[in-house]
A = this chain, B = another copy of it.
Amino acid sequence: MAQKPSIPKGTRDFSPEEVNRRNYIISTIKKQFQHFGFQPIETPSFENSSTLMGKYGEEGDRLIFKILNSGDFLSKVKDDLYAEKDSLKITSKISEKALRYDLTVPFARYVVQHQNEVEFPFKRYQIQPVWRADRPQKGRFREFYQCDADVVGSDSLWQEVEFVQLYDSVFTALKLSGVTIKLNNRKILSGFAEVIGESDKLIDFTIALDKLDKIGKDGVIKEMKEKGIAEAAIEKIDPIFELNGDFSAKINGLKSILFTSEIGKKGIEELEFIQRAIAEMPLKTATLDLDVTLARGLNYYTGAIFEISAPEGVKMGSIGGGGRYDDLTGIFGLKNMSGIGISFGLDRIYLVLEELDLFPEAVEENTKIIFINFGEKEALYAMKAVRALRGAGINAEVYPDSAKMKKQMTHANRRNIPFVVLAGTQEIEAEQYTIKHMASGEQETISLDKIIEKLR
């Protein structure tokens, strides 16, 4: 009995048009990665579970796809454990591998494993799918690509400057103007917690603050109270909500808030370095902004924090983000390796470009010309021409069957092939080809050389 075919929820098939458009974005990003000196690596789709588990928090552990051991996997489970029928406890006994959850942990693992072959500072990029057993919803999938660039082995602030430039270069190349590169620094957040006397509640504090644009000032204050942050402390942070104006104005505001905090002042210094460099080398299309509420939930950021907002008017969350982490490879035993990295959200960038109609027409690597098949002799004549066209780098085809003319023309039409060639006995005798431009309907009878000239 025939099965009704479908794919797992949260996954997608990509049609030729979608693949071509995705590849357009990927190759644009890749080219800029290379211009900036990043080199590609690839890591396996699945890692040993021990490499991934415990790296993304409890929630992350749940969302990691586990691969069932091969063969008689239950034979390794002891009877008393088996009798408990406890999914959580049994998992590590019947599954030793898991699908990649992001590209950062595999990158850290790669650097540590290959530390003797890698030349530091190591600038790598990686564009591969990742998998998360998340509840699927609009714009959130269980399989999606990440496009990451990271540098490990240097704590120079020029890297931060470089990543701001890199973001700007990619979005400029994609002709996507109006993007905002939001910048913050973990040291600013630590400074805030310090001046209000709640350094031990830094995480709760930043998580609440990060929600400002979603839940508003009152919501943030309510959440802070719930987390046990003192009333008096909350009153002290009021100036944070009053920061506004341009980058420099916000920096001045920060200076008056953080003047008693060493770490806060260090954060300001770092932000100013980046601001100064970008002022000397202005961005082409993006805008650099300071957003002191930015935390990105991820606790491993220790310095700069980046987040990219789509142009105003496009309803879309962040289309990229990243930051500096001082001790990522530490979990695999290689200490004191400062890293900084950014990520591009392929799926969301795709939706933005689609909404703004920014995909170039030439993205489609479509067939340029198809020859009508009138029978064996004519098909051979066409095949010979097609062979020469392909040799000249032109995508060309012969319709495979000598089907009815109308069927063949409809096929060319449906596939948006711009030129159709009709070559029968007369053309063969004259060594010519009648070429028809589908859009205009115009046709002419010319030599193969002329066709190549026309299409190149």
Which residues of A line the B interface, CB within 8 A?
2-8, 11-16, 19-20, 23, 32, 34-37, 39-48, 50-51, 62-63, 65-68, 70-75, 77, 82, 85-88, 90-91, 94-97, 99, 109-110, 112-114, 117, 119, 121, 123-124, 129, 131, 133, 143, 151, 154-156, 158-159, 161-162, 165, 169, 277, 280-281, 330-333, 365-367, 370, 373, 379-380, 383-384, 387, 390, 393-398, 400-401, 411, 414-415
Cβ-defined contact, B44 with A400, below 8 A = no
Nearest CB of B to A220, in Å: 32
Q: How far is the CA of A196 from the CA of B156 in the complex (A)?
A: 78
Q: How far is the CA of A394 from the CA of B36 in the complex (A)?
A: 9
Cβ-defined contact, A333 with B366, below 8 A = no
Nearest-neighbor residue (CB-CB) of A280 within chain B: B380
Q: Which of B41, B74, B77 contacts A13 (CB 8 A)?
A: B41
Cβ-defined contact, B5 with A19, below 8 A = no
One complex includes copies of this chain to the number of: 2
Chain B positions within 8 Å of A113 at CB level: 5-7, 13
Nearest CB of B to A292, in Å: 26
Nearest-neighbor residue (CB-CB) of A172 within chain B: B391
Chain B positions within 8 Å of A86 at CB level: 74
Cβ-defined contact, B68 with A40, below 8 A = no
Cβ-defined contact, B45 with A400, below 8 A = no
Nearest CB of B to A211, in Å: 27
Apart from A7-B43, A13-B41, A45-B129: 18 A-B pairs, beta carbons within 8 A: A4-B333, A8-B44, A8-B97, A13-B43, A13-B44, A16-B40, A34-B365, A35-B393, A45-B45, A62-B70, A66-B67, A67-B68, A68-B94, A72-B88, A77-B85, A119-B411, A158-B379, A158-B398
| Contacts known (A74-B85, A384-B280, A400-B159); A20 close to B35, Cβ less than 8 A | no
Q: Which of A3, A75, A333 has most B Cβ within 10 Å? A: A3
Closest 3 CB pairs of A and B: A2-B333, A11-B44, A16-B39
Q: How far is the CA of A367 from the CA of B38 in the complex (A)?
A: 8
Cβ-defined contact, A41 with B68, below 8 A = no
Chain B positions within 8 Å of A45 at CB level: 11, 45, 99, 129, 131, 143
Chain B positions within 8 Å of A110 at CB level: 13
Q: How far is the CA of A384 from the CA of B43 in the complex (A)?
A: 34
Nearest-neighbor residue (CB-CB) of A332 within chain B: B5
Cβ-defined contact, A5 with B66, below 8 A = no
